[in-house]
Structures are given as C-alpha cells and as structure tokens.
C-alpha cells in the first residue's frame, strides 16, 4: 500500500507511552504496563481534523502496518469505556526485546480486542 496522501487529514497520537507504576502498585510481568515501563510498547490513536478517533481509518492503518512493519505484537483494540459508551479504537504496538548483540527477531503477532477481551488472534477484525 502506498500512502498517496491517504492520511494527510489525520494525526497519529501517542495515547500511552512510558509507564511508571504507582506507589505500592504491582505490575504484571509481560503485561502491557510492564512492556510500557521498559519502553517496548506504545499505544496510538488516529485522530481526524476534528480531534475524533477515526475507527475505520484506524482499522485501515492497522492493516497497513500489519503488512509493512516489523514488530513483536500488534493489538487492534476497541472499547466502550467512555462515559457516554461510545466506541473508540487504538493500536497497541509491542516491539521485541533487543539483546546485547542487537539481534532481534520479530514475531509479527496480531490480535483484536474488544473491551479487553480477545476477539481474534492472527487476524484483524473491524468492530463497527
């Protein structure tokens, strides 16, 4: 896929980056917050000119990344956790650990979640 200015009207926003556990908080080893605390995981939102998350374009971007990026795991996640119950979409990108000799292997796993429940593995599903 060639960009062809398809995303000119959008901003890719880092919604969640480096994570620091709160006082007394226990972070699950290998979980998203653990990976964020190690700099291996970033959560992105694709926003249109009005600042709204564009769910359709987020799905399209995830499909594009699936075919063009190298990563440990990519999670297309949808949820209705907003106070008004509206549907949102994010892309979670997990990068592999880089060892001391800088050799990296990429698993390129993909997953779709809805309200933190896995809906599919090894394929992306568009929630509408």
Question: What's the pLDDT at 6?
Answer: 81
Return the SS3 of 78: strand
The number of domains in the chain is: 1
What pLDDT, on the 0 to 100 scale, is given for residue 3?
A: 59
The answer to whether 48 and 9 are in contact (CB under 8 A) is yes
Question: Is residue 1 one of the residues assigned to a domain?
Answer: no
Would 112 be classed as within a structural domain?
yes
Measured CA to CA, the distance from residue 75 to residue 56 in angstroms comes to 15
pLDDT of residue 53: 96
Domain assignment of residue 20, yes or no: yes
Which stretches of the chain drop beneath a pLDDT of 50?
Answer: none
> By residue range, what is the domain housing residue 84?
11-121
pLDDT of 15 = 95
Pairing label, strands 109-114, 117-121: antiparallel
In a domain, 2, yes or no: no
Residue 128 lies in a domain: no
Three-state DSSP state, 86 = coil
Contact 62, 98 (CB under 8 A): no
Which neighbouring-strand residues pair with 76? 91, 112
Residue 127 lies in a domain: no
Residue 73 lies inside a defined structural domain of this protein: yes
Name the pTM for this structure. 0.90
Which residue has 């605390």 as its token pair? 37
The runs of H, that is alpha helices, within 22-87 are: 32-37, 55-68
């Amino acid at each position: 896929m060639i960009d062809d200015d398809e995303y000119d009207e959008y901003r890719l926003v880092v919604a969640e980056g480096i994570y620091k556990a709160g006082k007394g908080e226990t972070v699950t080893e290998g979980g998203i917050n653990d990976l964020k605390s190690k700099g291996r995981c970033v959560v992105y939102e694709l926003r249109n000119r009005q600042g709204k998350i564009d769910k359709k374009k987020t799905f399209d971007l995830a499909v594009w990344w699936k075919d063009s990026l190298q990563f440990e795991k990519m999670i297309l996640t949808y949820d209705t956790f907003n106070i008004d119950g509206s549907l949102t979409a994010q892309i979670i990108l997990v990068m592999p650990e880089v060892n001391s000799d800088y050799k990296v292997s990429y698993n390129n796993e993909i997953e779709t979640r809805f309200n933190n429940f896995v809906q599919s593995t090894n394929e992306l599903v568009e929630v509408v």
